[in-house]
Amino acid sequence: MRILGIDPGFGRLGYGVIEIGTHHAHTVLTYGCFETEKTMRREERLHLISQKIKALCDEFQPSRLAIEELFFSKNQKTAMRVAEVRGALISCAGQNGIEVFEYSPGQIKNAAAGWGGADKKQVAAMLHVLMKIDKKIQHDDEYDAIAIGLTHLVYARS
């Protein structure tokens, strides 16, 4: 099974592709983060995000998309933009025949670190224990995306 984990964001989006092998050995095939320019129009930014995800899907052929549920913050404009990104991602998954699974922040922290109240440093440390991460991670969004993919692997087994 191959999972595309995504930490959705309008300005910056984290992604990670994880594969489960024999004896539940998890392999991180790729991960990264891409950003859209603030000077771009909204529709251009959403189109660029869709194109990037389509390219990842074409290259890695995931069977599942794991995405974080929308967390409503005090900033409604940010929440709306993230909701638009999620819609674009779910549409892209549908066009590529990929099943979509959503997980709450608590589920993600529990799956990655063993505790739903874990902080970002604890999650990142556990990801390095649970799987091989080759290159340096630049942004928390990358850790989050890998953790979201791992969450699906954990919940898919149960």
Give catalytic residue positions: 7, 68, 141
Integer angstrom CA distances of residue 51 from 44, 56, 93, 114: 10, 9, 12, 34
Tokens encoding 1 = 């099974």
d(CA 71, CA 133): 27
Using CA of residue 71, residue 121, residue 12, residue 109, what is the dihedral sign?
A: negative
C-alpha dihedral over 46, 48, 53, 56, to 10 degrees? 180
d(CA 27, CA 19): 5
CB hemisphere CA count around 69 (13 angstroms): 12
